[in-house]
Amino acid sequence: MRILLAFTAVWLAAVANAQPQLRQYSATIEQSSWQLSSNTPLECQLQHQIPQFGAAIFRSIASKGLNLDFELQLLRLPDHYALAEVLSVPPAWRSGEPAKAVASMQLLKQFNGELPKKTAWTLLTELEHGFSPTFYFSDWYSPYDKVVAAMNPVQFPEPYQQFTQCISRLLPYGFDDIAFTVLSYESGGDQLTRESQRRLAQIAEYLKYDKDIDYIEIQGYTDSYGGRWMNEQLSVKRAEKVKNFFVAAGLSEDKVQVEGFGERRHVAPNEPALQRKLNRRVVLQLTKP
């Protein structure tokens, strides 16, 4: 019994003094590759594979404002909440220079890690300077392991230049900006106002690149001037003209539904004229899966 107790004490002391084991993941110089995996006016994506670990992905999408996010895709998703410390590690030839603390990244159960715009730009800048953004965290599957995953800046400059060029060509509006749109009309016909003509052209430009549009509903309306039947026909004519515009731009006809409601469902009084013009409209609603 004394021998067993002595052995247990020695074992517990050894466990208490044991240093964590490091599992390190990084592409070698030969493996290091940066790829512009998406290059359209709707999305720019720069990707770097970390062998046996996952991928580092920078992404910017079409929007009213400049945006950027970073995603650390993991082959083994976290099993609980944790924090990863993000450091910018200098290259070996700059020995003696300390690593720079960049941020702490939340790791949520069954989710990839993400970082916001400012931090993502910082990581890109550090890569441009030849540093390796590196993630340190405790392994959620083994209490003895620490995980270190690094991005390799080798082969980074040219794809990064392509990525910045792609960002400069992104449309200044995205799906959420056009998913619900109201087009206005001149009085008495199916002629759009100049502002609505520009808006319709923007939507058509967006549809050239987004092939995931599932459905477009087009609803036409008029003010109450003129006969009720004539107004209903005019509302259908306005909606059909918009549909034909989209079909000519390449959208499948079976993805478009047209309805005309005439002078029903007013959104403003019909007097004065400035209010009345709000009722001369076509409403577009776009949906995606």
Q: What is the per-residue pLDDT for 276?
A: 67
Instruction: Indicate if the pLDDT at residue 9 is higher than 90.
Output: no
Q: Comparing 228 with 26, which gets the higher pLDDT?
A: 26
Instruction: Indicate if the pLDDT at residue 189 is higher than 90.
Output: no
Cβ neighbours, 10 Å, residue 1: 5
Is the bond leading into 98 cis (omega within 30 degrees of zero)? no
pLDDT band at 185 (very low <50, low <70, confident <90, very high): confident
Instruction: Indicate if the pLDDT at residue 277 is higher than 60.
Output: yes
Q: What is the per-residue pLDDT for 132?
A: 97
Closest alpha carbon to 110 in 62, 64, 77: 77
Pick the range with the lowest mean pLDDT from 17-26, 36-45, 188-197. Answer: 17-26
Instruction: Indicate if the pLDDT at residue 18 is higher than 60.
Output: no
Cβ neighbours, 10 Å, residue 105: 18
% pLDDT > 90, the chain = 67
Q: What is the per-residue pLDDT for 6?
A: 40
Helices and strands per DSSP (H, E), number in the chain: 7, 14
For the segment 141-170, the average pLDDT, to the nearest whole number, is 96
Q: Which domains does the chain have, with CATH numbers?
A: 20-168 (2.60.40.2540), 175-287 (3.30.1330.60)
Whole-angstrom Cα distance, residue 178 to residue 216?
Answer: 11
For the segment 244-266, the average pLDDT, to the nearest whole number, is 86
Q: What is the pLDDT of residues 212-236, one digit of tens each?
A: 999 899 999 887 777 788 888 988 9
Q: What is the per-residue pLDDT for 267?
A: 63
